[in-house]
Amino acid sequence: MRYFIKFSYNGYYFKGWQKQKNNKFTIEEEIENKISIILNKNINIIGASRTDSGVHAKLMFAHFDYNYAINKKYFLYKINLLISSYININDLFKVNTNVHARFSAIYRIYKYIIGKKKNPFYKNLYWYWKYKNKLNIKLMNKAINIIINRNNFILFSTTNKKLNNYNCNIYYAYWKKKKNYIYFIIKSNRFLRKMVRFIISICIEIGLNKITIYDLKNKIKNKKIFFNINIPPYGLYLNYIKYNKNIYK
């Protein structure tokens, strides 16, 4: 039988989602260990996405296979007692055996938060903008419209030899300002490694007038990878993942 878990986490204290050989504290390993203890069997989970070190998730899914029925109420109670306080497992449910947490997802939405007002109670949950320079949101939206007007995003991600292609279908992406916060929201069928943070970093450079829209167009035309990630990861959230309703068993 295949089970889905629905959960959320504060990623600041983890070295990203994916397990690592050097035994660093990762979300995937923490969840696997606790499920394995509860079910008394070595369990491998497959996540819907692979967030980087420091990145949060308001809504995340993963699947695992287990041959027996699981008492949902007991499972949720027990795992949330055992697991790190920075992770909460919100739900457990059975799905069809051909459903895959990563490949069956229709789309994902990421959000990035910049705060112009310091709040010690939300430290490491948004990027506190302590600088005097103001961001030009109008220019940043102009930049994002140029960036997403394509299918191939190899210029906006780290290279990966395992990938067959760098194509993504971005449905929308935009910047908006609300009171003391600036939000970036992007929706796509898939995201490449570090892609969202690359895109945000470019927009920040343009919003600060460090580079121009002309520079951006010229670099894209010449197919040059030309930016480093210069934003903190803890402002970024995996905000939503969509599946078809027929995944449930």
Q: What is the 3-state secondary structure (H, E, C) of 14-82?
A: CCCCCCCCCCCCCHHHHHHHHHHHHHCCCCCCEECCCCCCCCEEEEEEEEEECCCCCCHHHHHHHHHHH
Partner residues linked to 188 by β-bridges: 108, 170
Domains of the chain, first to last: 2-103 (3.30.70.580), 107-240 (3.30.70.660)
Catalytic residue among 52, 65, 91, 215: 52
The pLDDT tens digits of the residues spanning 84-141 come to 999 999 999 999 999 999 999 999 999 999 999 999 999 999 999 999 899 999 999 9
Whole-model pTM over 0.75: yes
The larger pLDDT score, comparing residue 245 to residue 123, is at: 123
Residue 222 binned pLDDT confidence (cut-offs 50, 70, 90): confident
- Per-residue model confidence as pLDDT tens digits over 41-67: 999 999 999 999 999 999 999 999 999
Please tell me the distance from the alpha carbon of residue 173 to that of residue 148, in angstroms, as a whole number: 8
Amino acid in position 26: T
Q: What's the whole-number mean pLDDT along residues 216-236?
A: 84
Residue 227: pLDDT band with limits 50, 70, 90: low
52 is catalytic: yes
